[in-house]
Chain A
Amino acid sequence: MRAWLVAILVTAVPAVARACPVCFDANEQNRAAFIVTTILLSTLPLAMVGVIVLWIRDSARGPEAGDRSTSGAPASDPLRSDRAREGRA
């Protein structure tokens, strides 16, 4: 019910939307620059996060991912230093 009320209020008070004087320009080159950079800044973070997610997913599917050790003492002490825990490949 509240959603309907909000929807009615939103549609009942329209105003004219004018082009932004900052990003609209009669110059074709400038308009193209705005469009290209907007696309770049919008899609770049999404693409990078997507790549990271895929990378983590592929790493999780690897043979060493989620290796569990329940025999006796823990295989590694989380309080040990980076070099001691990871060792040399």
Chain B
Amino acid sequence: MSRVAILPVRKPIVPSAVLGMVVFVVTEVMFFAGLISAFVIVRSRSIGPWPPPDQPRLPIEATALNTLVLTASGLAVYAAWRRFARGAEGARRGLMAGVALGAIFVSVQGAEWAALLREGMRLTTSAHASFFYLIVGAHALHVVAAMVVLVRAYVLLRADRIGEPTLRAATILWCFVVAVWPVLYLLVYLGAGA
């Protein structure tokens, strides 16, 4: 008589997709922490006013509105995940709203950059300009990458081929790019802590 080994099956304590995304977000938090630290130190060492008076003025008011747009997108995506986790309807609408608002945010940022470039503020113009483009550009890249993840999640959701952990991982990434932006806005645009 043959014997069959029946192995006990354990469910993961936390889903692999979620844990992997959390670890990735932690590394990206340190990436932005390094950029912020370098910015703070260079700013503290600058001789004269910061930002330099001969630089184009940053669009503080427009970016404040843009910040609200990005925050709304984060809330929409979070709500979509919560609905999905409860089995309620409306998750697709929330995801699409989040992607649309994120696209608006990136578009407005791009328009702002184009205006600043026309006014003569380039990457090599000054330390202030260098850090502005580096930090804001890095965040924009993260937003675009997170949008790709959200779009993929939306496609899978439409085909009813997505699991809750996968959607949760996408939500974590989007909430990270949303949460880190106000910190960057306060430091780079408003000069908080100067």
Chain A residues within 8 Å of B, Cβ to Cβ: 25, 27, 29-30, 32-34, 36-37, 40-41, 44-45, 48-49, 52, 55-56, 59-60, 64-70, 72-76, 82-83, 85-89
| 8 Å CB contact of A30 from B11, B30, B45 | B45
Q: Which residue of B lies closest to A22 (CB)?
A: B41
Chain B residues within 8 Å of A, Cβ to Cβ: 6-11, 13-15, 17, 19, 22-23, 26, 29-30, 33-34, 36-37, 40-41, 43-45, 84-87, 156, 160-166
| 8 Å CB contact of A59 from B14, B23, B30, B87 | B14
B41 lies within 8 A of A33 (CB): yes
Contacts A30-B44, A56-B14; A76 near B9 (Cβ below 8 A): yes
- What 4 new A-B contacts, CB under 8 Å, besides A32-B44, A74-B9, A85-B163? A37-B40, A44-B29, A59-B13, A83-B162
- In the assembled complex, the Cα of A16 lies from the Cα of B41 at a distance in Å of 27
* CB-defined contacts of A33 to chain B, threshold 8 Å: 40-41, 43-45
* CB-defined contacts of B84 to chain A, threshold 8 Å: 88-89
Number of A-B pairs, beta carbon distance below 8 Å: 95
- In the assembled complex, the Cα of A56 lies from the Cα of B23 at a distance in Å of 12
Please give the distance in Å from B163's CB to the nearest CB on chain A. Answer: 3
Please give the distance in Å from B140's CB to the nearest CB on chain A. Answer: 23
Closest CB pairs A-B (n = 4): A86-B163, A33-B44, A37-B37, A89-B164
A65 lies within 8 A of B13 (CB): yes
Q: Is the interface of B mostly helix, strand, loop or mixed?
A: helix
* CB-defined contacts of A25 to chain B, threshold 8 Å: 45
Please give the distance in Å from A17's CB to the nearest CB on chain B. Answer: 22
Contacts A41-B34, A41-B37, A88-B164; A56 near B44 (Cβ below 8 A): no
* CB-defined contacts of A36 to chain B, threshold 8 Å: 40
A72 lies within 8 A of B13 (CB): no
| 8 Å CB contact of A27 from B22, B36, B45, B160 | B45
Provide 5 A-B residue pairs closer than 8 Å at the C-beta atoms, listed in order of the A residue.
A55-B14, A68-B9, A72-B6, A86-B15, A89-B164
- In the assembled complex, the Cα of A70 lies from the Cα of B8 at a distance in Å of 5
- In the assembled complex, the Cα of A87 lies from the Cα of B84 at a distance in Å of 12
* CB-defined contacts of B33 to chain A, threshold 8 Å: 40-41, 44
- In the assembled complex, the Cα of A87 lies from the Cα of B165 at a distance in Å of 9
* CB-defined contacts of B36 to chain A, threshold 8 Å: 37, 40
- In the assembled complex, the Cα of A30 lies from the Cα of B193 at a distance in Å of 12
- In the assembled complex, the Cα of A48 lies from the Cα of B52 at a distance in Å of 35
